Amino acid sequence: MRVAVLVSGRGSNLQSLLDAAAASRLGPARLVLVVSDRVGAPALARASAAGVATRVVPFVDFAAREDFDRALVAALAEAGAELVVLAGFLRRLGADFVAAFRGRAVNVHPSLLPAFPGLGAQAQALAAGVRVSGATVHFVDEGLDSGPIVGQRAVTVFDHDSPATLAARILIEEHWLLPRVVCALAEGRVRVEAGRVRVDGGLG
Ligand code: GRF
Contact residues for 126 (Cβ-Cβ < 8 A; gap 6+): 157, 161, 162, 163, 166
**Do the bridges between strand 30-36 and strand 105-109 make them parallel or antiparallel, or are there none, so unpaired?**
unpaired
- The whole-model pTM stands at 0.97
Mean pLDDT score of the chain: 97
* Across 38-53, average pLDDT: 98
Q: What is the pLDDT of residue 149?
A: 98
Containing 184, the helix (H) or strand (E) segment is helix 163-186
* Across 156-166, average pLDDT: 98
Q: What is the pLDDT of residue 204?
A: 84
SS3 146: coil
User: Ligand 1 centroid vs 86 CA: distance in angstroms?
Assistant: 9
Q: Assess whether the C-beta atom of 108 lies below 6 angstroms from ligand 1.
A: yes
Q: Which residues are catalytic?
A: 109
CA distances from 126 to 130, 136, 173 (A): 7, 17, 18
Q: With beta carbons less than 8 A apart as the criterion, state whether 20 and 101 touch.
A: no
User: Which among 174, 177, 181 is the best mutation to test ligand 1's pocket, defined by most ligand atoms within 8 Å of the CB?
Assistant: 174
d(CA 5, CA 138): 15
What single-letter DSSP state applies at residue 82?
Answer: S
